[in-house]
Chains A and B, each alone.
Chain A
Amino acid sequence: MSSTNQADLLPALHRLQEKFGYIPDHAIADLAKAHNMAQAEVVGVIGFYHDFRRTPPGRQRLRICRAESCQAMGADALAMHACTQLGVEFGATTADGEVTLEAAYCLGNCACSPAVMLDDDLHGRVSVERLDAILAEGRGV
């Protein structure tokens, strides 16, 4: 964080989140100082973007696309199955801290709908069975 320019804030937030998985509270003051901003402004920027989190996520991040193309190919059933299987609502992390379930609004895989993304791995034409397999593989089962 050697920069003093607000324009470097988003890249800095991405780097922090890549390192810690979230933006820790204790980083806010440093970020504000480094980018010549008020702490409230930094918090405001973090809060605006869906990607940035202020609490630790699960070990893995499962994103299920809930946008139109995937809906047309059964994404709602897939989403319900994921909630039941993982025992969490969207936005929450499983009790064992393994998986954070998130909604995505288009993963750009619309020609292979429905799509999900586990961390950075994109999966297409995902049936309920495939989702189970993807999750099992992700847990190292």
Chain B
Amino acid sequence: MTQRIFVPRDASAVSVGAERVCRTIENEARNRGLEVEIVRNGSRGLYWLEPLIEVEIDGQRIAYGPVAPEDVPGLFEAGWLQGGAHALCHGPSEEIPYLKRQTRLTFARMGVTDPLSLEDYRAHGGLKGLERALDMKAEDIVDAVDTGGLRGRGGAGFPTGIKWRTVMNAGGGQKYIVCNADEGDSGTFSDRMLMEGDPFCLIEGMIIAGLAVGADTGYIYLRSEYPDAWDVLEDAIVTATREGILGANVLGSGRRFELNLFKGAGAYVCGEETSLLESIEGKRGLVRAKPPLPALQGLFGQPTVVNNVITLASVPWILAHGGEAYKAHGSGRSRGTLPFQLAGNLKRPGLVEVAFGMTLRELLYDFGGGSASGRPIRAVQVGGPLGAYLPESRFDLPLDYEAFAAVGATVGHGGIVAFDDSVDMAKMARYAMEFCAIESCGKCTPCRIGSVRGVELLDSMLAARPQRSNDDTLLRDLCQTMLEGSLCAMGGMTPYPVLSALDHYPEDFGLSPKQEEASA
């Protein structure tokens, strides 16, 4: 039997050389007269080891990484096809502690399967959820999601079951399922991974959502920064349509579900659901005032479910295993798992899917291995550019929506960006305001003008350093206005990183910790 070698096609793996490694392996095998089959899988998410190449020996996959093209001849010399010892060998992939300690439900197939092989997808539990859903009443599908306690993984954490029920009950006309794949937050890449590494899972989740609420049309709004995900999804939709999973007769049930892929155009704010809907409608991505909720008047004015990629991709598992099984994971009112993304200055960045409740410290040190630079980790931003900065004193906080909200922070989409002690937190605060100024849709004044004023204030504070400029009082006042007066999270949460930087790192703003306390 031809031996299988797995080389990820994931964009991140390719960005550090997986494509060149793949070609080198092919050439080297050919030159040695060895027959190998190269499978282009997704990434396991152990990014510090990418390109991570796996060799299948007697049904077990042995990991080697990070492999550079020039390592390939040596790997063949060392007899890697027979499991020969090599400095880059990490033993069986599944036994690598980083992977073994995770609870992979949504990412169960990630890096295991060939993303575009429907046979592979079925062989690894794919379509079981959809098959079950086709035998269920719409209310029961919504109940299963409700029981599982699934909440919006895009960042807001709104209960998915409630959203779906609203759309289900919104009459009998045209309805839509819209997948928000505009993953713009720095430090997040789980949507991209899932779309590139297990696209059928997202498609399956969207069809189930359609069955639940009575929608026969779906849109995936994909950011233009993800050309590889676009290609994979395009292929997967063609395959799913050809195989009767999508189309007029979903798995022979007589139910219809059509799926459209829609390309964004580089606007961060289009990750906000109403702005996203405007964008699909061909308009400027201006945020809509709510109400009306998109669940009642969404895309083209029709009842619409807007869910993040990971939310929808979590649904097939819940339907296949039941809401109770999903709910068994997690802590407090945060049920199930979240694929956390470790990024920034960490030794072992990557994807870590674990149940809610793990502490930041465990993720940063047990998984992340501490900083890449070897310097102390000084600040961690959780939940993207609108998330708060957390100092070491907060590292024992359990990752759970409520625990984070209680300290003015957010779990968001599960992105975790670490900074070492060379970071200038006043500059990071300025960046937060600058980013908001660049990306604001401009519809509401607190965000449009506030962000610009924020940059000006921070510039004057930065210029006054090491003295205090007295602008911190104004800055706090401005943040309050943005928090309370903005239409959406863009302006409404930009103050999170700014205020947390000011609160936890006053010395970076020319303030003494004591002065800060007095003015707070």
Q: Which residues of A contact B (CB under 8 A)?
A: 5-11, 13-14, 35, 44-45, 47-52, 65, 67-73, 104-113, 115, 117, 120, 122-125
Main secondary structure of the interface of A (DSSP, over half): mixed
Distance of B391 from chain A, by nearest CB (Å): 15
Distance of B305 from chain A, by nearest CB (Å): 18
Name the one of B14, B16, B263, B435 contacting A14, with C-beta atoms under 8 angstroms: B263
- Chain B residues near A51: list those with CB within 8 A: 224, 264-266
- The complex places the Cα of A124 from the Cα of B16 at a distance, in Å, of 5
- The complex places the Cα of A138 from the Cα of B385 at a distance, in Å, of 31
Task: Say yes or no: B11 contacts A68, CB within 8 Å.
Answer: no
- Chain B residues near A111: list those with CB within 8 A: 12, 45, 47-48, 189, 341-343, 349-351
- The complex places the Cα of A58 from the Cα of B12 at a distance, in Å, of 25
Task: Say yes or no: B227 contacts A50, CB within 8 Å.
Answer: no
Residue ID in chain B nearest A65 by CB atoms:
B186
Q: A13-B265, A51-B224, A110-B343 are in contact. Are A69 and B283 (CB under 8 A)?
A: no
Residues 84-143 (chain B) with a chain A CB within 8 angstroms:
none
Task: Say yes or no: A112 contacts B186, CB within 8 Å.
Answer: no
- The complex places the Cα of A104 from the Cα of B225 at a distance, in Å, of 9
Name the one of B47, B266, B341, B431 contacting A68, with C-beta atoms under 8 angstroms: B431
Task: Say yes or no: A45 contacts B284, CB within 8 Å.
Answer: yes
Q: A50-B265, A106-B185, A110-B349 are in contact. Are A9 and B282 (CB under 8 A)?
A: yes
B474 within 8 A of A: no
| Stretch in B54-62, B403-411, B414-422, B478-486 with 4+ CB within 8 Å of A | B414-422
- The complex places the Cα of A20 from the Cα of B157 at a distance, in Å, of 42
Name the one of A9, A50, A108 contacting B11, with C-beta atoms under 8 angstroms: A108
- Chain A residues near B267: list those with CB within 8 A: 48-50
- Chain B residues near A109: list those with CB within 8 A: 11-12, 15, 189
Distance of A57 from chain B, by nearest CB (Å): 13
B279 within 8 A of A: yes
Task: Say yes or no: A73 contacts B265, CB within 8 Å.
Answer: no
Task: Say yes or no: B265 contacts A68, CB within 8 Å.
Answer: no
Residue ID in chain B nearest A67 by CB atoms:
B186
Task: Say yes or no: B186 contacts A68, CB within 8 Å.
Answer: yes
B184 within 8 A of A: yes
Task: Say yes or no: B431 contacts A71, CB within 8 Å.
Answer: yes
Q: A7-B300, A112-B16 are in contact. List 10 more A-B contacts (CB 8 A).
A: A7-B281, A10-B280, A45-B284, A48-B441, A51-B264, A51-B265, A69-B186, A104-B225, A108-B225, A122-B14
Task: Say yes or no: A122 contacts B15, CB within 8 Å.
Answer: yes
- The complex places the Cα of A91 from the Cα of B420 at a distance, in Å, of 30
- Chain A residues near B441: list those with CB within 8 A: 48
- Chain A residues near B420: list those with CB within 8 A: 72
Task: Say yes or no: A110 contacts B344, CB within 8 Å.
Answer: yes
Task: Say yes or no: A112 contacts B226, CB within 8 Å.
Answer: no
Q: A51-B224, A68-B186 are in contact. Are A5 and B282 (CB under 8 A)?
A: yes
Distance of A68 from chain B, by nearest CB (Å): 4
Task: Say yes or no: B282 contacts A49, CB within 8 Å.
Answer: no
Distance of B44 from chain A, by nearest CB (Å): 12
Q: A69-B343, A72-B344, A125-B16 are in contact. Are A108 and B282 (CB under 8 A)?
A: no
- The complex places the Cα of A120 from the Cα of B225 at a distance, in Å, of 8
Task: Say yes or no: B189 contacts A10, CB within 8 Å.
Answer: no
| Top-9 shortest CB links A-B | A67-B186, A111-B47, A49-B265, A110-B343, A72-B344, A50-B266, A9-B282, A124-B15, A51-B266
B439 within 8 A of A: yes
Residues 188-240 (chain B) with a chain A CB within 8 angstroms:
188-189, 191-192, 224-228
Distance of B275 from chain A, by nearest CB (Å): 10
- Chain B residues near A47: list those with CB within 8 A: 284
A-B contact pairs, 29 of them (CB 8 A): A7-B282, A10-B265, A10-B279, A14-B265, A47-B284, A49-B265, A49-B267, A67-B435, A69-B343, A69-B344, A72-B343, A73-B344, A73-B372, A104-B225, A105-B268, A105-B435, A105-B439, A106-B187, A108-B191, A108-B192, A109-B189, A110-B187, A110-B189, A111-B12, A111-B47, A112-B15, A112-B16, A120-B227, A124-B16
- The complex places the Cα of A104 from the Cα of B345 at a distance, in Å, of 19
Task: Say yes or no: B186 contacts A105, CB within 8 Å.
Answer: yes
Distance of B309 from chain A, by nearest CB (Å): 12
- The complex places the Cα of A69 from the Cα of B282 at a distance, in Å, of 31
B423 within 8 A of A: yes
Name the one of B189, B264, B344, B385 contacting A108, with C-beta atoms under 8 angstroms: B189
